[in-house]
Amino acid sequence: MTSAKTSKLVSYLAQRELSLCVTINRHCHHHIAYPPLFDKISRLGDGVAWYGLMIAIVLFDPTHGWQASLHMSLVAALCLVIYKWLKPRTMRYRPYLKNTNIQLSTAPLDYYSFPSGHTLHAVAFTSTALHYYPELAWVLIPFTCLIALSRIVLGLHYPSDVIVGALIGASLANISFMVL
């Protein structure tokens, strides 16, 4: 495929994804009590829920909880390094900056959207925690999905930001099981 055709394809896909962001944002604004709900879910994904989970694991399983919490901490640190390295290099502006029809409902951490750090960390934490405590799947999987969805609903990320963030988070967690 020539570079001109590739450029047109990328441009077309970016426009389609932006249209999807507008549709999701508008729908949720009109049909769901979303700003307070998704903003709270997103804020929990800032780290509060994950740090609380690591503390709870140690409190409820003092014998093995330390290992799980330490593993989660190491994966989180690796995720942060990859995220901090990748995000400024991609410089993809957030959807609300590209289309004024997207209503921003919470303050962004920066101007760039790719990848979704919230999703990356949520998937990494969840994958690691479920390795040790699969019985937590009933709460961690829906919570992680809501964090990922919240990032699109709030106008902060494109679907591809969230998908790639989830893939990176899952990959780093899986690699950690091979190494640790």
Kindly write down the DSSP assignment for every residue of 81-105, as one continuous string: HHHHHHHHHH-PBPHHHH-TTSPP-
Separation between Cα atoms, residue 46 and residue 24, nearest integer Å:
22
* Region for residue 47 given its phi and psi (left: phi exceeds 0; alpha: psi -120 to 50; beta: otherwise): left
Residues of the chain with pLDDT under 50: none
Separation between Cα atoms, residue 41 and residue 58, nearest integer Å:
23
Which string of DSSP letters, residue by residue, matches 36-61? HHHHHHHHIIIIIHHHHHHHHHHHH-
pTM score of the predicted model:
0.85
Residues 6 or more apart whose CB falls under 8 angstroms from that of 145 comprise none
pLDDT for position 158: 86
Which string of DSSP letters, residue by residue, matches 101-164? TSPP-S--SSSB-SS-HHHHHHHHHHHHHHHH-GGGHHHHHHHHHHHHHHHHHTTS--HHHHHH
Question: Which domains does the chain show, CATH number per domain?
Answer: 3-179 (1.10.606.20)
pLDDT for position 167: 94
Q: Which of 42, 28, 31, 27 is nearest to 143 (CA)?
A: 42
